[in-house]
Structure 1
Amino acid sequence: MVSVSLCMIVKNEEDVLERCLESAAGLVDEIIIVDTGSTDRTRKIAARFTDKIFDFSWRDDFSAARNASFSHASMDYCMWLDADDILLDEDRKAFLALKESLDPSVAVVMAPYHTGFDESGRVTFSYYRERLIKNREGMSWVGAVHEAITPVGQTKYADFAVTHRKTHPSDPDRNLHIYQAQLDAGVELEPRQQFYYGRELYYHHRWDEALAVFERFLEEGRGWVENNIDACCHCAYCHKELGHDQAELAALLHTFVYDRPRAEACCEIGHWFLRVERYRQAAYWYALALTCTRDDRKGGFVSPDCYGYLPCIQLCLCYSRLGDQKRAETFNELAAAFKPDSPAVLHNRSVFQALSE
């Protein structure tokens, strides 16, 4: 069985750290905590789980801090978690099964990261992240913010997931300030960082600036295909906010330049036609979304609802607006197969029942 070092960077995490470490207890062989300046009970909580607690002077560089945490690891693999991450019971079991069977020649283990949830706790946003990294193999974190490790060597895709459960919002301006400080210092952002800089501008409602960054990112042609597709979608979101309806649609259609249609983009196009009351065209794109094959291992951001529930519930709406109530009801029941407790499904059922009386 391989051994694993859990390596974490923390600061003022007293409200979530115990929950995180309890979920990882018994799974890993050592716990490394790098503290970047806590003033609360974080260190006392960490000390209940490990004596390997180290200080690191924060310098607006997440990669530097994560690399510092990895430098203290002594086991075969390094695993990272954020303090507001947890491993659910079924994922703990899957993690242990992986640990027992993992071929030591594997350099990187990729695992799903669940970061968005609906009101019933079902996952609505997910993507793969590098989760276990072979120690002392020369791989390191890169990027002051939205840091990542480029896998080198054999990669394995795992079944266990990490669940991200925030209890309070983080500083909404932190990442943007880091990027702006880099740019002010004359740093040229590499493609991945340029992509995430555009996203940070978008989150701050700086639509024109975000659009310019995304368009430059796409024009330079150095981005990873999944980031290119997402950048097109974000160009569309910016155009929408700026009132550029035709440019919004064009940006969404441009996603098809990079790869086969994604259900997420098809649903966005369907919504565009729905918004302008062109229901037959909207129905076409929602139906196309249902034919798209979900492939999380491509590494992009995945919205599971777009591969089932969302197109079905929207097709119900489209056909209802077109006067085809029987077909609309059929799609409502298909949506129910994905989310039987959906308020929209339950509302639609009551409407169809009233129409049949």
Structure 2
Amino acid sequence: MIEISLCMIVRDEESVLKRCLDSIYDIVDEIIIVDTGSIDRTKEIAKLYTDKIYDFKWIDDFSAARNFSFSKGTKEYLMWLDADDFILEEDRIKLKNFKENTEPIYDQIFMKYNVGFDDQGNVTLSYYRERIFRRSMDFKWVEPVHEVINPGGDIYYLDIAIVHGEKVRKKNDKRNLNIYENILAKNQTLSPRGSYYYARELYYNQLYGKAIKYFLEFLDSNKGWQEDCIQACKLLSLCYAKMGDSINQLRILFRSFEYHVPRADICCEIGQIYFERSNYESAVFWYEMAIKKKNLIENNGFIYHDYYGYIPALQCCLSYYRLGNIEKAIYYNDLAGTYKPKSPAFLYNKEFFNRIDK
């Protein structure tokens, strides 16, 4: 059996904190809440679960706040959650069993993180994230934004999911961008990871030209993590699309193959470019390649689940229809339906093909 301190940083989380703590309070052995400046009922809610509540002056540095929360944990292992995270009952049972039947042999435990969902609640985006740490190893969070603990020691990947839900309150979309730009204004240098995430914030804030510059600098440094490089290629392609540069939009997606074998989502992005050019034969090639890919969650890799079957099947249906091959179009629409039988797109296509078949 292992003992766990849950260490959280919070601010104005009254809409989601109870849901989070209800899902975890009876599994962990200690709850640490570090508040960075709440003006709502966050602390009042936290007091229902723990008396270990601390204040931390916000200094535009998530790692500093998380390291402070870890410093307050006293148990053998330290675990983190965001306030809008929670655990479903099936995974709660699994986590309890793991905790009660595991010897303290691991230094760092990664858990699945489900962060994207469709209208029916199906998971569309997931990846593994560092989640539980042996306290004696003194792991430290790094990076002021999009903080991370670098992998180290004896690592274990636990097939139990944390759900990342949506906050009710509106997020400040420029918060992260402002933190990075304040760092640069002080003539401080961003790390390779920081450069990637700064470029990403520029993209999210529709500063596409500047985002292109920083994405390219990040990729050309050859110092980024494999997954960050692949994601940078995807976002850079979208930047080029916004700038009307279709040539580089395609080229940068092919560059992603330098870092790993083609991912299904990358294949679909390439297929979509050819589809929009009315080059349906080339589009089909890349969509069919995506369908052949196996949906395996790799260590620290992002998995966009719908691209491993549903999306490329739908797009093959459309492409073959444009090519005049109705039989193939129907085949691929039916294939899409095996992944999502309640999909409005699948059902619409099915009704359409039934009409033209009469």
Q: 3-state DSSP class of the match of 2:50? A: coil
Moved more, 287-296 or 118-127: 287-296
Distance 1:157 1:29 in 2: 22
Question: Are 2:28 and 1:28 equivalent residues in the alignment?
Answer: yes
Aligned-residue offset at 1:295: 3.1
Distance 1:337 1:264 in 2: 19
How does 1:35-184 map onto structure 2 within 5 Å?
35-166=35-166, 167-184=168-185
Provide the aligned length of Structure 1 versus Structure 2: 357
How does 1:341-356 map onto structure 2 within 5 Å?
341-356=342-357
Aligned-residue offset at 1:98: 1.8
Aligned-residue offset at 1:136: 2.3
1:89-133: CA deviation from partner (whole Å, max 9, x where unpaired) = 111112112212334121111111111111001111112110111
1:221-260: CA deviation from partner (whole Å, max 9, x where unpaired) = 1111111111111111110000000110001111111111
How does 1:199-238 map onto structure 2 within 5 Å?
199-238=200-239
Distance 1:281 1:219 in 2: 29
Q: Please tell me whether the aligned partners of residues 107 and 151 of structure 1 are also in contact (alpha carbons under 8 angstroms).
A: no
Aligned-residue offset at 1:355: 1.2
How does 1:268-287 map onto structure 2 within 5 Å?
268-287=269-288
Q: 3-state DSSP class of the match of 1:158? A: strand
After superposing on structure 2, the runs of 4+ consecutive aligned residues of structure 1 that deviate more than 4 Å are: none
Question: Are 2:340 and 1:311 equivalent residues in the alignment?
Answer: no
Instruction: For 1:212, give the aligned amino acid.
Output: K
Q: 3-state DSSP class of the match of 2:149? A: coil
Distance 1:160 1:211 in 2: 36
Distance 1:335 1:295 in 2: 19
Aligned-residue offset at 1:300: 2.2
Question: Are 2:4 and 1:4 equivalent residues in the alignment?
Answer: yes
Distance 1:6 1:299 in 2: 22
What is the aligned partner in structure 1 of residue 241 from structure 2?
240
Aligned-residue offset at 1:307: 0.7
Q: 3-state DSSP class of the match of 2:28? A: coil
Q: 3-state DSSP class of the match of 2:189? A: coil
Instruction: For 1:172, give the aligned amino acid.
Output: D
1:59-107: CA deviation from partner (whole Å, max 9, x where unpaired) = 0000000000000101111111111111111111121122123341211
Q: Please tell me whether the aligned partners of residues 226 and 298 of structure 1 are also in contact (alpha carbons under 8 angstroms).
A: no
1:264-308: CA deviation from partner (whole Å, max 9, x where unpaired) = 100100000011111110000000111223332231222100111
Aligned-residue offset at 1:193: 1.0
Q: 3-state DSSP class of the match of 2:266? A: helix
Distance 1:234 1:14 in 2: 33
Distance 1:254 1:263 in 2: 15
Aligned-residue offset at 1:344: 0.3
Q: Please tell me whether the aligned partners of residues 139 and 151 of structure 1 are also in contact (alpha carbons under 8 angstroms).
A: no
Q: 3-state DSSP class of the match of 2:136? A: coil
Q: 3-state DSSP class of the match of 1:312? A: helix
- Cα RMSD of the aligned pairs, angstroms, is 1.0
Instruction: For 1:227, give the aligned amino acid.
Output: D
Aligned-residue offset at 1:21: 0.5
1:17-72: CA deviation from partner (whole Å, max 9, x where unpaired) = 11110011211011000011111111110000000001111100000000000001
Distance 1:312 1:279 in 2: 14
1:135-171: CA deviation from partner (whole Å, max 9, x where unpaired) = 1212110010000001211111111111111123311
Distance 2:101 2:293 in 1: 33
Instruction: For 1:162, give the aligned amino acid.
Output: I
Distance 1:110 1:43 in 2: 29
Distance 2:268 2:302 in 1: 14
Please, which runs of 5 or more residues in structure 2 have no aligned partner?
Answer: none
Question: Are 2:190 and 1:189 equivalent residues in the alignment?
Answer: yes
What is the aligned partner in structure 1 of residue 338 from structure 2?
337
Distance 1:138 1:169 in 2: 35
Distance 1:134 1:56 in 2: 23
Moved more, 184-193 or 340-349: 184-193
